[in-house]
Structure 1
Amino acid sequence: MNYAARSGTSVADARYPGSTSCDACGAQAEWHRTVRGRWTMIESGDWPVGSVPVGKRWHIAGDGTAVNLGSASPSDKCRISHFDVCPSRPAPADSPVMLALWRKNAQLGG
């Protein structure tokens, strides 16, 4: 593990995502670094891009970096950020797949 320069806290190596549980709901997800150097929790599983709204579609690159896809080919698969389906936040109304994940996470935590 590397140490963050500002906080002195341990952070995961982007090439090897760390499995974790959400502090807010207890659901399992993986930490991935984004192309901008921030960290985001990504749900497990791949989903057809057509079932996930533009802007909420993620791809995990070969080096473990999370890349926001924006628009993509309808035949492609994508991943979803846990923060978009965490039951500690309002239910997503823009995708039945995301709402189903939100409900699944709500059952795990409660």
Structure 2
Amino acid sequence: MLVGDVLAGMTAAVTHAARTGRAVPDARSSSPATCGACGAGAAWHRTVRGRWVMIEPGELPARVVPAGRRWRVAGDGTAVNLGPAVPSDTCRVSHFDVCPGRPAPTGSPVLLALWRGHARRVP
């Protein structure tokens, strides 16, 4: 990881914290969060590139989640995008892929079902 990537990630986190009035999450652990768009619970995790991503709770079989949408949370709390994975493996998904405040996901009935589940809970 380059120092520039770390600084860019920290700058984005501090700017977001200043805009929203929320503290910057600790990079070593997940930070519980509630999505401002739909009210669903998720957890903020820092990525290997120093950015932050909201990860949905629970795991899914990797075979039902499209490549590029599969995440794993490492022991240190870092979120890693898996890309291709062994079909018998498990993964997690980003809340941004299933948030009803965004367009419905295409190409995965499982992601669409999660999106619809969140959409039913939006007031």
Global fold match (TM > 0.5): yes
CA distance in 2 between partners of 1:65 and 1:34 (Å): 5
| Secondary structure of residue in 2 paired with 1:7 | helix
CA distance in 1, matches of 2:31, 2:47: 14
2:72 matches 1:59:
yes
Q: Are 1:7 and 2:15 matched, yes or no? A: yes
1:8: Cα distance to partner? 8.7
Structure 1 or 2: more strand by fraction? 1
* Same amino acid, percent of matched pairs: 61
Partner secondary structure for residue 103 of structure 1? helix
The Cα shift of 1:18 comes to 1.0
Match of 1:50 among 41, 44, 63: 63
The structure 1 residue matched to 2:116, chosen from 87, 103, 106, is 103
Return the offset for 1:14: 2.3
- Work out the CA distance in 2 between the residues paired with 1:8 and 1:103: 28
Q: What is the CA–CA distance in structure 2 between the aligned matches of 1:108 and 1:38, rounded to whole Å? A: 28
Quote the residue 2:93 is aligned against: 80
Instruction: Find the aligned partners of 1:33 and 1:26 in 2 and give their Cα distance.
Output: 21
* Secondary structure of the structure 1 residue equivalent to 2:103: coil
Instruction: Compute the displacement of 1:16 (Å).
Output: 1.9
Structure 1 stretches lacking a partner, 5+ long: none
In terms of fraction of residues, the more helix-rich structure is: 2
Q: 1:17 aligns with which of 21, 24, 30?
A: 30
Count of aligned pairs: 107
Could you tell me which residue of structure 2 aligns to residue 38 of structure 1? Answer: 51
How far apart in 1 are the matches of 2:106 and 2:63? 15
Verify: 1:92 aligned to 2:100, yes or no.
Answer: no
Give me the CA root mean square deviation.
1.5
Counterpart of 2:44, as a letter, is: W
